[in-house]
Structure 1
């Protein structure tokens, strides 16, 4: 199924289901904190493999034990079903 932009209603439902996420500057955003740099970097490596497999790559940053993730589908001009899928998988990875 092709990716589609989320409607305002779909975006609201996504945020209700994913309480760690918010919309900031038109992007789906989450901040995560880990025990140390190695744990944060290991998490980023796992997400990088997922992103490559999905062909959908996050905008992100890492400072010591913190990782910030922004998801947006540039080709579609906003938050899409691909971003929703990635957020769901990131949450599953963060949970353990």
Structure 2
């Protein structure tokens, strides 16, 4: 399936619907920080996301420091 890139206005409108997500500095990705109660919860979140991402073959760019997970997503479909 061929997909078209969204315009900047369409991206801004879509981000309104995605609580906590914002446009990354590169203008081509979206980002969000998730803060958990502790490292174990952060790690459990990353494990769940990793399993889903592997099934979708769409892997996030992320980092983890203690109880915070920073996630950046982009697509190669468009």
Tell me the TM-score normalized by structure 2: 0.84
Unaligned runs of 5+ in 1: 81-96
Question: 1:43 & 1:51 partners in 2: Cα distance?
Answer: 12
CA RMSD for the aligned pairs?
1.7
- Give the total of aligned pairs: 76
2:22 maps to: 22
1:59 maps to: 61
State the Cα deviation string for residues 1-55 of structure 1 (Å, max 9, x = none).
5554222232112211013000122220000100000000000000011111111
Tell me the TM-score normalized by structure 1: 0.69
Say which SS state the counterpart of residue 6 (structure 2) adopts.
coil
Unaligned runs of 5+ in 2: none
Q: Which runs of 4+ in 1 moved over 6 A?
A: none
The structure where helix makes up a greater share of residues is 1
